[in-house]
A and B are shown apart, each in its own frame.
Chain A
Amino acid sequence: MSAGKFYIILLLIALLAAAVRVYGITQQPATADEIEMAFTAQNYLERGIFLPTMPHHPNLRNLLLSLSMSLFGTGALGVRGFSLLFGTACAPLLGLLLYRLTSNSYASVLAALLLAIDPVQITYSRQAIQEVHTEFFTLAAVLVIIAYMKDGALKRRLWLLPVAGIIFGLALASKAHAFFPLIVCLFYAFRAGIKEKQYDAAILSVLSMTFLPFTVFLLTDALWFLRGYDLGEWFFMRHALAQVMAVKFVGPAMETLVDTRAWEWFIIPLRDYSSFAVLDGRSYVTLGPGNPFVWLLVLPSAAYVVFSAIRRRTDMIIPALFIASYIPLVFARRPIFFLSALAVAPYAYCLVGLAASDMARSSAGRKVIYGWLAAVVIAGVLLYPLSIGRTMDYEYLAKLTERHNPHLHPETLNFNKYR
């Protein structure tokens, strides 16, 4: 595939991603999380307070939400604007990332397409929460680091290191999940400097990906400082919130008690996370499962890609990003909700794309891949109503929601979600 054709296809995928994310967006009622997030953004902007919801997550979301609400009001576009934008942009970004890394246009197009139409991606691109923000900034930062390292000659692209550091800072200021890809990129960038005996560049890579993200993160907490807090108290606050989030968090009763184990994601199909809303007496249930025809292939694809990389002595950055992002969630001591899978999914699509493009080299393999792709698309279409809150309109989907019915767990209905 020529480069020109690749970029045109990527553009078409971006348009498709935008279409499935924007369709019916104003008719999908706000979830409880979204209502509370609008208030949290307002409280943060006015008083540096990060309540009433998700106070343990960083504050970039509050700043972005305040900005979009001030520009577009508190309607669906104002509240969900940045999620729609970032969620759409993730698809071409992932394609570019993989293309820049491997020059494999088929794998790159596939990865972008899988991200564009995966129900879990569509669902959280349509909600005003930080999941796709983190994904977008992380992918952008990884892309910058890959551009920095590509084909050596680091000296000519040194400026990319601080750029990556700033973008990683935005990712960390969205959600802590960005930390693990940051470590992988730091390792690769540092190693590239050492390998080329560019020791200044190696040091710059370390400073760019430690001090700069930290600086950006601090700046997004500026309104909290203005409540009268100093730097020592900032460390206390972040330590306390990290402890709440990483160790002691006890919120499985938020909306559902199911699907809180990350090890299940790529083994058991249709893991998901649910949100409920009621408007004019009608129930809107939103689920965000992964496409089973993709997610069940992730672990075999990962094994294949790792094996191939070892055999061909090629770079392992995608498997490293996947493993580094996934393993901490697998071994987390707290419930991990399925929406956190967005921190891992992009690398999973890359692995599946790489494995599929290898398989498509033979004509028999191509037929299998076409058949598989058709299954992916059909499943995507059938599952699409889940992402737009129309689950209850389709009997075959309504059954999927039964596991999430909070009335099956009445003890959780009045559970204070953070205490």
Chain B
Amino acid sequence: MSLARTTSLCIVFIFLTTALALNTAGKHARTYAAPQPVSARGIPVHILKNERELYGLYKSLGIRGRIMVHLGRYLHFVDIEPDALLAKTDRFPIQLFNMLDRYEGLLSDRNVLWTAMQANLLREIDYVLPAPMFEERKRSLAASRTDVLSISHNRIVAHDWGSRRTLSPVLPDLTEPVLLNIDASYLEEADEQAVYAMLAASQLKADVLTVTLSEDNPEISAVARQRLIKLADLFAVR
């Protein structure tokens, strides 16, 4: 075989090997506990006061590189502006510090999922919004926004610098195990039986199931929190 042909084959081989190696390395970087179908019996439910506790829980469980399915009215994805963090001096040498530490110092319910993505706990977030809230988002989001890729009747595909975020009124169709979080705000419009039935009928698998009471959010009613507790009970008694 000629040198040109041998080199050509080597190039294709190197390309395929590199692509495969990176794909495998990426998948291996994800950490899973013991995923089970959401409809299965005995999936542990963590009841949390707010989304900030979610961040601590994920960190303590060693979560990394995961897809999160979040049921709720709020996105918790306000980014932290770097200008406020970076040194105000233009003098060399530049004083570097760990930005994640600063983000964590500013952790709030508004930015918690954005911070979780910065910390590599999450790589994708699929929001399931109450239908009226989804329609409102569709109306308010101009397709010209830099972070919106497409808007269809039941799905908005957006991204945070390449990390996928979808908004939808229905559960996503995913085969990969997810981190499932249900915020009390989701139970304002739906009762616990309906939410439970929707989740039980889905094909979703999860290894961490959390419900967050959003205790410090004055917009959440006591009824919604009670429904959420009942929903947690429904998962527990199956």
Contact = CB atoms under 8 A, between A and B. Distances in A.
Size band of the B side of the interface? 35 or more
Interface stretch (A72-80, A134-142, A257-265): A72-80
Given A215-B14, A218-B19, A229-B123, A35 B4 contact: no
Majority-rule SS of A interface residues: helix
Contact of A236 (B92, B119, B162): B162
A310 interface: no
Interface stretch (B5-13, B40-48, B205-213): B5-13
B78 to A, nearest CB: 11
B92 A219 contact: no
A47 B11 contact: no
B11 A230 contact: no
A250 B99 CA distance: 26
A215 B20 CA distance: 11
Report, as a range, how many residues of chain A touch the other chain.
35 or more
A3 interface: no
Interface stretch (B80-88, B192-200, B223-231): B80-88
A26 B82 contact: no
Interface in A221-265: 221-222, 225-231, 233-234, 236-241, 243-244, 248-250
A110 B214 CA distance: 69
B149 A240 contact: yes
A412 to B, nearest CB: 14
B7 A30 contact: no
Contacts of B124: 233
Given A215-B18, A278-B90, A208 B29 contact: no
A201 B4 contact: yes
Nearest to B164: A236
B92 A212 contact: no
A212 B8 contact: no
A277 B86 contact: no
B81 A416 contact: yes
B90 A35 contact: yes
Contacts of A47: 100, 118-120
Nearest to B81: A416
A6 interface: no
B66 A418 contact: no
B161 A43 contact: no
B96 A74 contact: yes
Contact of A35 (B2, B94, B145): B94
B67 to A, nearest CB: 9
B92 A230 contact: no
Interface in A35-78: 35-36, 38-39, 42-43, 46-53, 55-56, 69, 73-76, 78
Interface string B108-132: 0000000000111001100000000
B29 A227 contact: yes
B31 to A, nearest CB: 9
Given A52-B99, A227-B65, A244-B146, A204 B120 contact: no
B56 to A, nearest CB: 18
A218 B18 contact: yes
A277 B90 CA distance: 6
B11 A240 contact: no
A30 B90 contact: yes
A250 to B, nearest CB: 7
Contacts of A50: 161
Contact of B7 (A204, A236, A278): A204
Contacts of B161: 50-51, 55-56, 237, 240-241
A237 B99 contact: no
A159 B99 CA distance: 44
Contact of B15 (A48, A212, A241, A250): A212
A230 B27 contact: yes
B105 interface: no
A159 B11 CA distance: 12
Nearest to B95: A74
B86 A30 contact: no
A238 B30 CA distance: 21
Contacts of A203: 4, 8
B77 to A, nearest CB: 12
B5 A228 contact: no
A251 to B, nearest CB: 9
A288 B141 CA distance: 38
Interface in B138-161: 144-147, 149, 159, 161
Question: Which of the listed residues A207, A234, A416 has the most CB atoms from chain B within 10 Å of its own CB?
Answer: A207
Contacts of B100: 47
B146 A248 contact: yes
B94 A218 contact: no
B64 interface: yes
B96 A39 contact: yes
A231 B144 CA distance: 27
A230 B146 contact: no
A415 to B, nearest CB: 11
Interface of A: 26, 29-32, 34-36, 38-39, 42-43, 46-53, 55-56, 69, 73-76, 78-79, 155, 158-159, 161-162, 165, 198, 200-201, 203-204, 207-208, 211-212, 214-215, 218-219, 221-222, 225-231, 233-234, 236-241, 243-244, 248-250, 277-279, 284, 416, 418-419
- Give me the 7 closest cross-chain CB pairs, A-B, nearest first: A228-B65, A237-B162, A200-B4, A52-B82, A29-B90, A225-B26, A74-B93
Given A34-B94, A204-B4, A225-B22, 15 more contacts: A49-B118, A53-B82, A55-B162, A201-B4, A204-B7, A208-B7, A212-B14, A218-B18, A221-B22, A228-B29, A229-B65, A236-B164, A237-B162, A237-B163, A240-B161
